[in-house]
Each structure stands twice: as structure tokens, then as C-alpha cells.
Structure 1
Amino acid sequence: MKTKIMIAILLVFATATHAQITKAEITATGLTCSMCSNAINKQLKAMPEVESVTTDLNTNTFTVQLKKDNQITPLSLKQRVEKAGFFVGSMIITLKLDNPKWNDKMSLTQKGHTYILVDNATNPVKDQIEAKVMDKGFITAKEYKRMSKSLSKYPTYAAGDEKTFHLKQL
């Protein structure tokens, strides 16, 4: 009996999908000058998981390259932008999946955080995906209001759980 339980546990862990963010493109709002972008840049570079940050001052976009085997989440990146005194208007992440088998609800869990693919009818899931985080605080208030109607079929969307991220694959 113990052998069967151990085999079942090993199979569950062997087929589990693990996701790691390798890159994030963050568009910040509320910036008025280059000193504002410098404050965000410093906050992002101070994170130990960050390899490099490049800034586009024309679009207020910060492209964050992350170190291999990091455990960073969209929330920790958002918190750094907010710590600098600004807000996230958009966040696009690149997720590397080591075993791209999503469950029937198109979700996976990594280190206590859940990623749910929304409106994924046309895009097959690959070993690496680029997706926009669609949750409150990761998109503009206007876009969130519009998206809450179309994503109301996901009970977790309106709940606002900080450990659940709803992703729209690009």
C-alpha cells in the first residue's frame, strides 16, 4: 500500500507544470520626468532576482530580464513599482514552462501562486508563453472595469486574490 501511494505522489510531481518568469515588460503610469523613471529603475534593479532593466522613456516601459531559477511573481514586481510611488498600467510577462500541461481549467500553480490562462481558445500552450496580466492593479482602472464583465466567468477574477494571476496569452 505504501509503495502505491509513493508511486502516485511521484507521478503527480513528475507531471506537475512549473512556471518561471524570465522577462517582464512593465508600463508604469504617473511618471512626469526622467527622475520618476529613475526611481522605478532603482527599485527594480535592487531586486536580487533581476538581471537587467532597460527603460523606454517614450512609453514609460521597463523591460526586466530575470535570472534563471528565480521565484519572482508579478505581485513582487508590481510592489516595487508602487514602492517608487507609481502604478502599473500594463504588465506583460514571459513564462517558461518546464512541463506545459495545464489542467482542464487552464491553470497551474507554482510556489503557492496560481496562473490562469483566460480566453485561450486560439493559442496552443507552448513551453514558453508571453501573456498580459489582467488583474486589478496590473492594468488601468478603465481596462479592469471593461475586463471584469468579460472575465466574470472566472470566479477568482473578481475575488482579487493576490496569489492568483489571470493571464491573456499574446
Structure 2
Amino acid sequence: MKAIIIALSLLAGIQFSASAQQYKKAALQAAGLTCAMCSNATFKALKTLPFVDRIDTDLNNTTFVLHFKPGSAVNLDQIKSKVENAGFSVAKLTVTASFDKVKIENDAHINFAGQTLHFMNVQPQVLQGDKDITVIDKDFISAKSFKSYSAKTSMPCYKTGTMADCCKPANGAASDKRVYHVTI
């Protein structure tokens, strides 16, 4: 009986730690919106994402705040695709993420919520609790900003977005896993 209680306690701890690192919400600024119908088309497209719980809008700043369903797998590329399919582009995407003692430093890769984040232009620190991170990949920011960030790293994966260009798995095989480049 004691072994069963210990096993259940361990399982509960594993489930808690797995859900501790997750995306909570995102502030998406769209470019190219000129009227209420444009905003409505983007809103409707974003609303179809399976991991979005609700959306708040700020039409004055062309910003949509996407609140994610707890425990759901969030795909940042799908957010970008929905905006582009509505006929617009992403000007900025800032994601609120819940961290649990995650050590970061410039040009470090970390696994987060089933994805790889490459932190750029950051000071060494430990992230704890909710933190806003900005996605700085191409098509998530302006061309001018992308060029500026490109000058701040020597890692080739920033331009291609794949780990094969800067990191190799332990067995030496290349990986096509998507890398999201972010900053704080």
C-alpha cells in the first residue's frame, strides 16, 4: 500500500512539472490591417486555432491577445500562418511563458513546452514564473529588426530556423526540429 501511495505521489509530481512550463498567452501585433473588416478577418482566422481559449482585441494598436487553453500544445508557426492566410503579416509576437528555474544565456538553446527556444541578446539569468519573450524569427518581426538581430549572433540557425545548422544531437545525426529564436 505504501508503494502505491509513493508511486501516485511521484506521478502527480511528474504531471505537475510537465504542465509547469507552458505558454499562457500571446500578444500579436498584425501589420497591414486598415479597417474593421481586416481585423475581423484576422480575428476569425485566429479563433480557429485549437489551442486558443479566447481572444481579446485592441483595435487601436492592431493587437490581438490570444489566451491559450491550459496544457495545450501551442504552435507559434500556426499563429503566423493564420494571420498570413487572412492576408496580413505578423509585426510582433510576444508570448507569456511560465518558466520553472530555467537557466538561460546568450545563444543558448533550451527545450520548452515541446519546442526549442534559442535565446538571443540576453544576459545570463534564471527564469522563474511568467516571463514575456518576443519571437524574433523572420516573418515574426520587421525585416529591419531581423537584420539587426542577425548582426548580434554568430549562430547560423537564426537565418535558417533549424537545429542542424548549429546543434547536433548526441548521436551526430542532423535534426530538422524547428528552433524559435527569442529574446526578453
Q: Which band: TM-score by shorter chain?
A: 0.7 to 0.9
- Find the partner of 1:144 among 132, 143, 146: 146
Structure 2, unpaired ranges of 5+: 1-13, 163-176
Is the CA contact 2:121–2:152 (under 8 Å) kept in the aligned structure 1?
no
**Which of 1 and 2 has higher RCO (CA within 8 Å, sep 6+)?**
1
Which residue is 1:106 aligned to?
Answer: 108
Q: Give runs of ≥4 in structure 1 deviating > 4 Å.
A: 14-18, 101-105
Of 106-115 and 54-63, more deviation after overlay is shown by 106-115
Query: Using a 3 Å threshold, how does the CA distance of structure 1 residues 85 and 104 change in structure 2: closer, same or farther?
Result: closer
Question: Secondary structure at the residue paired with 1:21?
Answer: strand
**Superposition pairs for residues 4-153 of structure 1, below 5 Å?**
19-98=21-100, 100-101=102-103, 106-110=108-112, 113-121=115-123, 123-151=125-153, 153=154
Q: How far is the alpha carbon of 1:148 from its aligned partner?
A: 1.2
- Amino acid paired to 1:158: K
Which residue is 1:166 aligned to?
Answer: 181
Question: Secondary structure at the residue paired with 1:100?
Answer: strand
Is the CA contact 1:17–1:100 (under 8 Å) kept in the aligned structure 2?
no
Query: Using a 3 Å threshold, how does the CA distance of structure 1 residues 34 and 124 change in structure 2: closer, same or farther?
Result: same
Query: 1:46-104 CA distances to partner (integer Å, 9 max, x unpaired)?
Result: 11211111111111111100010010121111111111111001000011234535599
- Amino acid paired to 2:140: F
Q: TM-score, normalised by structure 1?
A: 0.79
- Separation in 1, partners of 2:21, 2:127: 12
Query: Using a 3 Å threshold, how does the CA distance of structure 1 residues 107 and 160 change in structure 2: closer, same or farther?
Result: closer
Percent identical among aligned pairs is 33
Is the CA contact 1:56–1:62 (under 8 Å) kept in the aligned structure 2?
yes
Q: How far is the alpha carbon of 1:155 from its aligned partner?
A: 2.4
- Amino acid paired to 1:28: A
- Amino acid paired to 1:38: N
Of 126-135 and 86-95, more deviation after overlay is shown by 126-135
The number of aligned residues is 155
Structure 1, unpaired ranges of 5+: 1-13
Q: TM-score, normalised by structure 2?
A: 0.74
